[in-house]
């Protein structure tokens, strides 16, 4: 085995689903030795027609205990990686680095009663992994998943979110989860309308969740559009909610997705 080959394994695509022309989900086989924490990401590689490799980091959607790996991707027009990735079909090969990384994990918080998961677009991916891991359900009394997309058809993994409470190992904790979908560019029954920051500023997000965002009880994870992350962090900072660092535990953890 060469030095470069030791850094990744070769996996097979076992499912590819197109959500919209610009969004798709994919599932690959999983190397028995691959380990990750819920919320982490891993680099995926594809082989171009000229034999060269291109790589991009993706948060893992699936549970750390699943026998497969799920990922959620946007098609970047003209993007070298996603153009190659979107052409792959079931049975094709995908490279997966052996080492997962990332700090959007529950150990960023040392305490807290209510966990808020704020995601836009494909930024919902790490939260779906976290919600499939038992640790989050034991640690927090309330879990609020906020998932924002431009159009309702862009809201992925809705069946997965619905059936979380039906899983035997989560049944007694299902009441802890509040799911708040947001659609920004159209009105849709059952979904909030507006940017996450606007809904925080006008209080609508907290009213819909039935719980307040406070530094005492709330711990907030944010993933998605960098501008949304920056704007939301500033709003939370005004409420005395700080970024959680190893040297200074706080109330907020973020992952930039671009």
Q: Tens of pLDDT along the chain (258 residues)?
A: 444 557 999 999 999 999 999 999 999 999 999 999 999 999 999 988 888 999 999 999 999 999 999 999 998 888 888 888 888 899 999 999 999 999 999 999 999 999 999 999 999 999 999 999 999 999 999 999 999 999 999 999 999 999 998 888 888 898 999 999 999 999 999 999 999 999 999 999 999 999 999 999 999 999 999 999 999 999 999 999 999 998 899 999 998 755
Question: How far is C-alpha 126 from the chain's CA centre?
Answer: 3
| 71 in Cβ contact with 216 (< 8 Å) | no
Q: Which residues of 140-166 are buried (b: 16+ CB within 10 A; e: fewer)?
A: bebbbbbbbbeebebbbbeeebeebee
* DSSP 8-state class, residue 187: -
Give the containing element (helix H, strand E) for 237.
helix 226-237
User: How many CA atoms within 13 Å lie on the side-chain side of 191?
Assistant: 22
Q: Is the CATH code 3.30.1360.120 the one for domain 106-256?
A: no
Residues 235, 241: Cα–Cα separation, whole Å: 9
pTM of the model: 0.94
Q: What is the DSSP string of 194-233?
A: S-HHHHHHTSHHHHHHTS---TTTEEEEEEE-HHHHHHHH
162: left (phi over 0), alpha (psi -120 to 50) or beta: alpha
Where in the chain are the domains?
5-97, 106-256
> 233-251 pLDDT, tens per residue?
999 999 999 999 988 999 9
> 171-204 pLDDT, tens per residue?
889 899 999 999 999 999 999 999 999 999 999 9
Residues 5, 22: Cα–Cα separation, whole Å: 31
Residues 164, 177: Cα–Cα separation, whole Å: 9
Closest among 176, 107, 171, 174 to 144, alpha carbons compared: 176
Residues 56, 45: Cα–Cα separation, whole Å: 7
Q: DSSP alpha helices (H): ranges in 26-94?
A: 80-85
Q: What is the mean pLDDT of the chain?
A: 93
**What CATH superfamily is the domain 5-97?**
Translation factors (2.40.30.10)
């Amino acid at each position: 085995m060469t030095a470069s080959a030791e850094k990744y394994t070769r996996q097979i695509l076992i499912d590819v689903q197109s959500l919209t022309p610009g969004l798709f989900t994919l599932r690959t086989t999983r190397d028995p030795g691959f380990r990750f924490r819920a919320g982490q990401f891993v680099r995926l590689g594809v082989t171009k027609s000229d034999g060269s490799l291109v790589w991009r980091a993706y948060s893992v959607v699936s549970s750390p205990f699943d026998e497969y790996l799920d990922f959620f991707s946007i098609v970047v027009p003209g993007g070298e990686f996603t153009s190659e990735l979107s052409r792959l079909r079931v049975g094709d090969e995908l490279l997966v680095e052996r080492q997962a990384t990332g700090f959007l994990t529950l150990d960023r918080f040392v305490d807290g009663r209510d966990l808020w998961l704020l995601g836009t677009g494909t930024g919902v991916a790490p939260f779906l992994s976290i919600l499939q891991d038992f640790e989050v359900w034991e640690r927090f009394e309330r879990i609020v998943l906020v998932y924002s997309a431009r159009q309702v058809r862009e809201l992925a993994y809705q069946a997965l979110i619905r059936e979380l409470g039906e899983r035997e190992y989560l049944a007694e904790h299902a009441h802890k989860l509040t799911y708040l979908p947001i659609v920004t560019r159209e009105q849709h029954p059952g979904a909030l309308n507006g940017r996450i920051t606007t809904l925080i500023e006008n209080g609508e997000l907290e009213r819909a969740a039935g719980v307040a965002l406070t530094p005492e009880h709330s711990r907030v994870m944010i993933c998605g559009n960098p501008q949304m992350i920056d704007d939301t962090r500033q709003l939370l900072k005004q409420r005395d909610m700080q970024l959680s660092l190893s040297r200074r535990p706080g109330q907020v953890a973020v992952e930039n997705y671009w």
